[in-house]
Amino acid sequence: MTDPFPQSALSRTRARARTAPEAARTASPCAARPLPPVAALLALVFFLSPAASAGPPASASQAGQRLAVPETGRDTAFLKGCWRSDAAVEDVRTGWPLRFTFCFGARGQGALNVDETGPGGKVFASCEARAAATLSKGRLEIRAGAARCPGTTRSYAETTLVCVAGKDASECFLRGDGGAPVPARLTRVEGKG
């Protein structure tokens, strides 16, 4: 399969957590500015609303189902629900795994949850971003904005997941913060859990 991210040869291989000061140093002049407390609360309510519209959790018969991207069409309704990635991505600060879960409504709009996990899979922080999916000619592309971690100054840069239709299941690659693509499989899960 050809590389879904053509410039990956120059990229890093690990996802990189960025603190607010780092993000401010590397941000463009159009970067977001801190919001006053009331505006931040309203933005948070708006920010979290796509996940709420993702629909009912997967039924027991759907949980564990591998993602299969259709070879034709543009309809992303098949994504409705939540999907967890098995990509082997680590937080560069701690070396602990990051867990990526995408939740979508019927029209390809949703949210990305990045869980910072530690020993035994314990979740220390759950960071969220808006996500949008597009499908064309058997190629699914999911783009998520910077995932913010409530209660901390940490955030994760934009994330892109590309999946290509395959014979039995889709072949996917996850890339965050300009890093090299990491192979991933998406499996349906119940809710965000």
Give, in order, the Cα–Cα distances in Å from 125 to each of 42, 89, 114: 21, 15, 8
The whole-number pLDDT of residue 192 equals 58
What does the alpha-carbon distance between residue 127 and residue 136 come to, in Å, rounded to a whole number?
Answer: 29
108's tokens: 């390809």
What does the alpha-carbon distance between residue 182 and residue 137 come to, in Å, rounded to a whole number?
Answer: 22
pLDDT digits (tens, 9 = 90+) for 45-58: 223 333 333 444 44
- Between residues 37 and 145, the one the model is more confident about: 145
Q: Is residue 101 within 8 Å of residue 82, measured between CB atoms?
A: yes
Fold of 60-193: Lipocalin (2.40.128)
Average confidence score pLDDT of the chain? 74
